[in-house]
């Protein structure tokens, strides 16, 4: 009888220990997209992710909370951009508001990548219903954090999420400038 109780207790203890081991968290893939920014340049999500995680916030001109969040994140972005953080301000304003959006973004001096989702394709692909809604997308293209709504102080919780996905040290960006070729002596001349 003692052996049976011992075996039962041991079996329960092993079961509890195994249940306490967290499973690997699985994340949903964020749909890729290409949109133009306020300067007319085409921007693709997968290309951005090569440089680090992306926080994408859906906003429009009438959304006061969207604008408040994007304003509040500026100091956070400034302190973390060297570690690879990128922020997309995804405007879902109508095509007829494009000039107003461009003027507004310029007046705000947002350092973000400001994209125009005038046909609401990305908004639909990401199932965005409420503004502001934002997603943190890791370098594998997975949505690792979702933030809906905004109230003062949320930027601290958002920053905590950024820190989970950024490297400890600044990311060294390789220069894309062409290196000058070494001068070669002309044929028939010798090196001096």
pLDDT at position 19:
46
Q: Is the pLDDT of residue 179 over 90?
A: no
pLDDT at position 154 is 95
> Choosing from 58, 63, 66, 114, which is the catalytic residue?
66
Beta bridge partners of 89: 57, 114
pLDDT in tens, 114-172: 999 999 999 999 999 999 999 999 999 999 999 999 999 999 999 999 999 998 888 76
Residue 118's CB: how many other CB atoms inside 10 A?
A: 17
Known catalytic membership, residue 66: yes
The yes-or-no verdict on residue 6 having pLDDT over 90 is: no
Q: What DSSP character marks residue 95?
A: G
* pLDDT exceeds cutoff 50 at 20: no
The residue that leads in pLDDT, 32 or 13, is 32
Average pLDDT value over all residues in the chain: 84
Among 11-25, 53-67, 166-180, which stretch is predicted with the lowest mean pLDDT? Answer: 11-25
Sequence-ordered list of residues with C-beta below 8 angstroms from that of 140, at least 6 positions apart, any chain: 49
Q: Is 3 helix (H, G, I), strand (E, B) or coil?
A: helix
Tokens of 78: 């400034």
The pLDDT value given to residue 2: 56
Evaluate the CA torsion angle 183, 184, 187, 189 in order and state its sign: positive
Whole-number Å distance between alpha carbons of 177 and 49: 21
Q: 158 and 73 in contact (C-beta within 8 Å)? A: yes
Domains of the chain listed by start with CATH number: 26-165 (3.40.30.10)
**Residue that is written with structure tokens 């989702």 in the block:** 117
pLDDT at 16 over 80: no
Please report, rounded to a whole number, the percentage of residues in the chain having pLDDT higher than 90.
73
Question: Across residues 37-48, what is the average pLDDT?
Answer: 97
Provide the pairing of β-strand 28-29 with 142-148.
Answer: antiparallel
More confident residue, 111 or 174: 111
Residue 87 pairs with which residues in a beta bridge? 55
Element (H, E) at 13: helix 2-20
Q: Tokens at residue 28, please?
A: 């949903």
- 127-131: Cβ within 8 A, 24+ apart: 128/58, 128/92, 131/58, 131/59, 131/60, 131/63, 131/65, 131/66, 131/92
Q: Is the pLDDT of residue 175 over 50?
A: no
């Amino acid at each position: 009888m003692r052996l049976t109780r011992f075996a039962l207790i041991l079996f329960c203890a092993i079961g509890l220990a195994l249940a306490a081991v967290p499973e690997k968290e699985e994340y949903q893939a964020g749909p890729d997209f290409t949109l133009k920014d306020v300067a007319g340049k085409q921007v693709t999500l997968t290309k951005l992710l090569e440089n680090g995680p992306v926080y994408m916030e859906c906003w429009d001109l009438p959304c006061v909370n969207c604008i408040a969040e994007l304003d509040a994140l500026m100091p956070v972005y400034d302190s973390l951009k060297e570690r690879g953080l990128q922020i997309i301000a995804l405007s879902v304003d109508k095509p007829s508001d494009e000039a107003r959006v461009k003027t507004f973004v310029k007046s705000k001096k947002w350092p973000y990548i400001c994209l125009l989702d005038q046909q609401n394709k990305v908004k639909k692909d990401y199932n965005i219903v409420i503004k502001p809604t934002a997603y943190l997308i890791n370098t594998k293209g997975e949505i690792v954090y979702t933030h809906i709504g905004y109230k003062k102080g949320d930027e601290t919780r958002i920053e905590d999420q950024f820190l989970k996905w950024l490297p400890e040290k600044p990311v060294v960006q390789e220069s894309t400038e062409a290196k000058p070729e070494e001068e070669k002596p002309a044929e028939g001349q010798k090196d001096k």
